[in-house]
Structure 1
């Protein structure tokens, strides 16, 4: 009966005006009363009550109904009730299985939908990209396709809803390895077949990371051909662009050209203007995207609320250094002549994404975020760490890269460009990190793994008033849902999936810092995932109520 009633309520929608259906003899799972409802559309908040049953929102009213109609009544006490947040690029989802405790880093931010993207992806795989089975809960698992990977996630359960792009670099690794060369016609066909397979299995689109090998070896033409395989399924192209600094505008043009060449929408990941001399480009970048939209081109972007990005120290040398693979490159660093030549290139050549130039050629502006070199160096600059280890800066840098590198956070952006980005109506929000937990990851994470969404609400809405609450929530809910094609989520409306948050906008807060990133955000008092409480009055429930959301929409 409850399923039938929920379906009926979804059909009649809000025409009920808050009235209970006369033939409903069952009880709702939850009734949330006295809430300030921010519905995700950007509309002004309003006071009301919401009922949830069997994973769906089944009733909305301006005044609460008989409380005996629900199994559990939660008095919002004038807190905000909003749709669950969508992380537009949250990196790995495998972490939810290998380290279940990592879910807390997402749920305490209010994240209920996680898009996994960029150049790599969990599938496809082969014996070279996945030489050993992955251990999950003490058992070995292997997969080659998204169908197999999704089956594992279905069987084991996930704490949030997960969406997956197929990575263009991952496809290239499977077919060609990591070498810098042009694919043969046969290799190109194999890569296109793998993208098509991923889309048939339920991927949402094609994603790239064109700053990192082997993604940076992929030409515009190659990417257009791969992106064409996404079109029949209604997918989109998303990208960490080829350049986010002095060639930012050119990279936006390339991204748009790929989308237009394939006939699909475009999403630009973590839009930024990196490097002090490039900061004025942020407004031009936003204007470029806005002009494209006025011209009828479907392009959008996302941003994260930090002025330090997160990359590996190995990205401070030219990407061409890795043309024969990272291990081959590391071996060459034992030669002082190679080091000297690299240093000269890094100090003088800005034709590539030169992060050393972006930080003003000052190692004091590059902060260590990884405890791979020892916990005592986390939070220190490269200059400080080199001094502590008794080395000159360049020796420390090359020694570290040769040993496999370390995570760093370059001071590459400024607050003004964050304000510019957040005010753009087509901008969404992402964490650009995998889920994390203090016991497994320690200090080896960027603070955005723990603090992104609450930081937007605390810093840019409450404190600095860059955008209003309703608009911030729209970016993290319905705007992201529209791009993802999740038209049954991202809003508070009858018939929508019950991914919901209850929080006090005056107290919600991020706590993660670069010096101590492993600190959970606070203030998400209640979090529902598909109508199941994942956080109940501030306490984690351990529920795995998420779903693997599949997008298989072949042309008719």
Structure 2
């Protein structure tokens, strides 16, 4: 790693001021993508108050970071942690990766607003049961997040499927005028409560019947409040190009940024097509604001759907309500054991979740290498045998793809997890190391950082992370969480997207 000295980065402090925490002699990757420099960081009152030459600062508490990197805390832009931040607010699967901020409500799936008197259908069932969907308004949910005081910061999106289940009587049809107005009202309330934007998952049965005019009508509500539109597109398989165009058209008409969720080309018939999709994304980016996220694995995970069981790709069961003993086993082996084909086995396991090995490595690397790709885990914390991305996505990018495969520099890997993400979602003074920014920081060993979670043993913490700080307080030290939690709810700001044209 090339080390350069910082230039004029010391903040003026009152002579009587004593710094709370000093991170001493660290190799600083500030999130900009530029080379590291050696420095001390001073932290007080939740903020970075000084960046000074190495070994020059004094404070109440010293963290010796000699030989280690300090970077902005990672922002997981694609999570389904809506319930996890309430039920397990220590957030160990994320803290142990160096994640200090999560964005919930992706893929059209959010825990609020919920006034429906019905069992949450798939995919909403991925994040909770009917007892968990108890927040009638986004404001109620925000209040619950603040009361739970999670260990990480939380930003939220409002899901299209959640809105439809609340407002649309027949989910197999598009919304009528009255139902659309109800959804718009619910979304407007949520944006007023501080949501970052609106998400859709047109791939799923709950939203599949919606046309793009329904999506645009809702995206305009997000746009009016300064929010974004994130899209789990309608088809990541054979119809991926048409589905991308649909998402971009919605953003263009609603006049707001579009963020593509977990970009991929799924299924053997589409392997290699990321050359085509990324070229199209670049073309559309010339005229509108577009972002995308990805996770560093060749397998995805969602509900088990017999329609997507083709007998070709490997499918592993992540949970099954009628057959919990089958978690972690391959669908093909279960089908053989039961003496049925895989589609029938999937029907017997339902309701269930699955890990689909539906991508090819060269496509994954191509998407990760694309300079506009953010990193998101897309982990499902309530699966009994989850995809390893829940515990390993960010260290896997830093260790496997940056250090070992040299897909990009460590500084560039950090940028994809920090400033790029903060800027796309309008998170002010987050995702960067600079004076007066919030002190969300991760201190790690670039030589040893590595994901340990595997498909066989997915609940394994990463190695190589020494400290994680959230809002200026130590949240994790040598793998041990602090008994106190300091995460904040991150409200949307009207003045958004520095440096990103809209």
Same fold at TM > 0.5? yes
Counterpart residue number, 2:44: 53
Counterpart residue number, 2:429: 488
What is the deviation of 1:392?
4.3
Residues 24 and 178 (structure 1 numbering): CA distance in 2 closer, same or farther, change over 3 Å?
A: farther
| 1:414 matches 2:356 | no
CA distance in 1, matches of 2:295, 2:341: 33
What is the deviation of 1:388?
2.8
Residues 420 and 526 (structure 1 numbering): CA distance in 2 closer, same or farther, change over 3 Å?
A: same
| 1:312 matches 2:303 | yes
Counterpart residue number, 2:164: 172
Counterpart residue number, 1:3: none
- After TM superposition, the structure 1 stretch with the greater mean CA deviation from structure 2, 87-96 or 258-267, is 87-96
CA distance in 2, matches of 1:479, 1:554: 16
DSSP-derived class of the 2:248 partner: helix
What is the deviation of 1:231?
1.4
Counterpart residue number, 1:86: 75
RMSD: 2.3
- Rg comparison, structure with higher value: 1
What is the deviation of 1:372?
4.4
CA distance in 2, matches of 1:398, 1:371: 11
Residues 397 and 151 (structure 1 numbering): CA distance in 2 closer, same or farther, change over 3 Å?
A: closer
CA distance in 2, matches of 1:30, 1:20: 16
CA distance in 2, matches of 1:159, 1:124: 23
| 1:41 matches 2:32 | yes
Deviations 1:146-169 (A, max 9, x none): 111111221221111001111111
What is the deviation of 1:15?
8.6
CA distance in 2, matches of 1:19, 1:235: 32
Counterpart residue number, 2:213: 221
Residues 142 and 215 (structure 1 numbering): CA distance in 2 closer, same or farther, change over 3 Å?
A: closer
Counterpart residue number, 1:273: 265
Residues 525 and 395 (structure 1 numbering): CA distance in 2 closer, same or farther, change over 3 Å?
A: same
Counterpart residue number, 1:383: 332
| 1:370 matches 2:319 | yes
- Which of the two has greater helix per residue? 1
CA distance in 2, matches of 1:225, 1:19: 46
- Any runs of at least 4 consecutive aligned residues in structure 1 with deviations exceeding 6 A, and if so which? none
Asked if the contact 1:93/1:434 (under 8 Å) is kept, the reply is no
Equivalent position to 1:32, from 10, 15, 23: 23
DSSP-derived class of the 1:230 partner: helix
| 1:399 matches 2:348 | yes
Residues 233 and 129 (structure 1 numbering): CA distance in 2 closer, same or farther, change over 3 Å?
A: farther
Deviations 1:63-117 (A, max 9, x none): 33242xx11011101200000001111113221222335x111100111110012
CA distance in 2, matches of 1:501, 1:176: 44
Counterpart residue number, 2:62: 73
Counterpart residue number, 2:150: 158
| 1:428 matches 2:377 | no
What is the deviation of 1:397?
2.4
Equivalent position to 2:309, from 346, 352, 356: 356
Residues 395 and 538 (structure 1 numbering): CA distance in 2 closer, same or farther, change over 3 Å?
A: closer
What is the deviation of 1:16?
5.9
- After TM superposition, the structure 1 stretch with the greater mean CA deviation from structure 2, 203-212 or 387-396, is 387-396
CA distance in 2, matches of 1:260, 1:84: 32
CA distance in 1, matches of 2:61, 2:467: 13
Asked if the contact 1:304/1:430 (under 8 Å) is kept, the reply is yes
Residues 535 and 313 (structure 1 numbering): CA distance in 2 closer, same or farther, change over 3 Å?
A: same
Please, what TM-score do these two structures have when normalized by structure 2? 0.91
Asked if the contact 2:323/2:349 (under 8 Å) is kept, the reply is no
Asked if the contact 1:248/1:281 (under 8 Å) is kept, the reply is no
Asked if the contact 1:153/1:548 (under 8 Å) is kept, the reply is yes
Residues 297 and 549 (structure 1 numbering): CA distance in 2 closer, same or farther, change over 3 Å?
A: same
CA distance in 2, matches of 1:54, 1:48: 20
Asked if the contact 1:39/1:492 (under 8 Å) is kept, the reply is yes
Counterpart residue number, 1:335: none
Counterpart residue number, 1:539: 480
Please, what TM-score do these two structures have when normalized by structure 1? 0.82
CA distance in 2, matches of 1:473, 1:164: 22
DSSP-derived class of the 2:396 partner: helix
Structure 1 residues not aligned, in runs of 5+:
1-13, 318-354
CA distance in 2, matches of 1:88, 1:478: 12
Residues 185 and 20 (structure 1 numbering): CA distance in 2 closer, same or farther, change over 3 Å?
A: closer
Asked if the contact 1:18/1:63 (under 8 Å) is kept, the reply is no
Residues 502 and 178 (structure 1 numbering): CA distance in 2 closer, same or farther, change over 3 Å?
A: farther
Residues 66 and 115 (structure 1 numbering): CA distance in 2 closer, same or farther, change over 3 Å?
A: closer
Asked if the contact 1:273/1:282 (under 8 Å) is kept, the reply is yes
What is the deviation of 1:473?
0.6
Counterpart residue number, 1:338: none
- How many equivalent pairs are there? 481
| 1:460 matches 2:460 | no
DSSP-derived class of the 2:50 partner: strand
Asked if the contact 2:31/2:432 (under 8 Å) is kept, the reply is yes
Deviations 1:7-64 (A, max 9, x none): xxxxxxx99643763x331311111111110000101111111111111000001333
CA distance in 2, matches of 1:376, 1:49: 51
Deviations 1:462-510 (A, max 9, x none): 1111111111110000000001101210000001000000000111111
Asked if the contact 2:42/2:57 (under 8 Å) is kept, the reply is no
CA distance in 2, matches of 1:247, 1:141: 33
